[in-house]
Structure 1
Amino acid sequence: MELNTIKPAEGSKHAKRRVGRGIGSGLGKTAGRGHKGQKSRAGGYHKVGFEGGQMPLQRRLPKRGFKSAQLKFNAEVTLGELQALDTAEVDLLALKAAGLVPQIAKTVKVIKAGELSKAVVLKGIGATAGAKAVIEAAGGSLA
């Protein structure tokens, strides 16, 4: 095989439709654009979402919801994950080292999911009311 003999596969390339090149082509005169109107004219078109002056869909529908960019810095840890952790003092660095929270995380909260039977001391980590009750019942604390 030589560079000057390479060809695309048979049938993979086809000639571009040439519009406005006479009546015999089937796309002569108006070139498939129909008669008159904004869409038939060169350079005459409108912006995306424009509905001819009618109130556009994106303005007719109610606006709902918002996802904060700060959410990626928040993480959650379950009581079950704390139980599996082999350290008694838990802080953000320990959770990152164990791979329980992403490295980008800045704030961590413990949620009540799973069981906790050993005493753990949380430093710089929040907890839900239910999780806090379970941690304190197991002999742990939040610092």
Structure 2
Amino acid sequence: MQLNNIKPAEGAKHAKRRVGRGIGSGLGKTAGRGHKGQKSRAGGYHKVGFEGGQMPLQRRLPKRGFKSQTAKFNGEISLAALERLGAAEVDLLTLKQAGLVGELIKNVKVIKSGELKKAVKLTGIAATAGAKAAIEAAGGSLN
């Protein structure tokens, strides 16, 4: 193989479509734009969703719902999961290493789901009122 006989792959290159170059090309006269109308003119186009002045679909439908952008940074962990973890001291890093919360999580809250029998010291982790009572009843603490 030499540099002078390298060719592009079969079908990789194709001739550019030359419109408006006579009837014989098959793309003469209207040059593939059809007859009249805004889309046939140079520079004539409209916004995405424009329906010719009719109220567009996205404005006819009611507004509904909301998705918080901060929700992806918040995580929760149950008392049952804390029990299974079996660590005496728990912080955000411990939970990430155990795979109980995702890597993006910045704030974690303990929820009262399941039971906790071991004493667990939580650092930098919030808890619901019920979960806090259950943790302190087991001899644990929250910082």
User: Normalising TM by the smaller chain, what interval?
Assistant: 0.7 to 0.9
Q: What pairs up with 1:35-114 in 2 under 5 angstroms?
A: 35-96=35-96, 98=98, 100-102=100-102, 104-114=104-114
What letter matches 1:49 in structure 2?
Answer: G
CA distance 1:85–1:18, shift in 2 (3 Å): same
Normalising by structure 1, report the TM-score.
0.77
Of residues 81-90 and 97-106 in structure 1, the stretch that sits farther from structure 2 once superposed is 97-106
Normalising by structure 2, report the TM-score.
0.77
Unaligned runs of 5+ in 1: none
Of residues 42-51 and 109-118 in structure 1, the stretch that sits farther from structure 2 once superposed is 109-118
State the alpha-carbon separation in 2 of the partners of residues 81 and 39 from structure 1: 61
8 Å contact kept, 2:33–2:39: yes
CA distance 1:74–1:37, shift in 2 (3 Å): same
The aligned counterpart of 1:117 is: 117
Of residues 125-134 and 28-37 in structure 1, the stretch that sits farther from structure 2 once superposed is 125-134
8 Å contact kept, 2:91–2:122: yes
What letter matches 1:34 in structure 2?
Answer: G
Cα RMSD of the aligned pairs, angstroms, is 2.7
Residues 6-55 of structure 1: per-residue CA shift (max 9 Å, x gap): 11222332222221111111111011112211111111111211111111
Residues 40-93 of structure 1: per-residue CA shift (max 9 Å, x gap): 111111121111111112111222222222223312123233123343233345
Report the 3-state secondary structure (helix = DSSP H, G, I; strand = E; otherwise coil) of the residue aligned with 2:65: coil
The aligned counterpart of 1:8 is: 8
Report the 3-state secondary structure (helix = DSSP H, G, I; strand = E; otherwise coil) of the residue aligned with 1:75: strand
Residues 110-139 of structure 1: per-residue CA shift (max 9 Å, x gap): 134455331223344223455445435544
What letter matches 1:56 in structure 2?
Answer: P
Report the 3-state secondary structure (helix = DSSP H, G, I; strand = E; otherwise coil) of the residue aligned with 2:70: helix
CA distance 1:11–1:88, shift in 2 (3 Å): closer
State the alpha-carbon separation in 2 of the partners of residues 22 and 44 from structure 1: 23
Percent sequence identity over matched residues? 80
How many residues align? The count is: 143
Report the 3-state secondary structure (helix = DSSP H, G, I; strand = E; otherwise coil) of the residue aligned with 1:11: coil
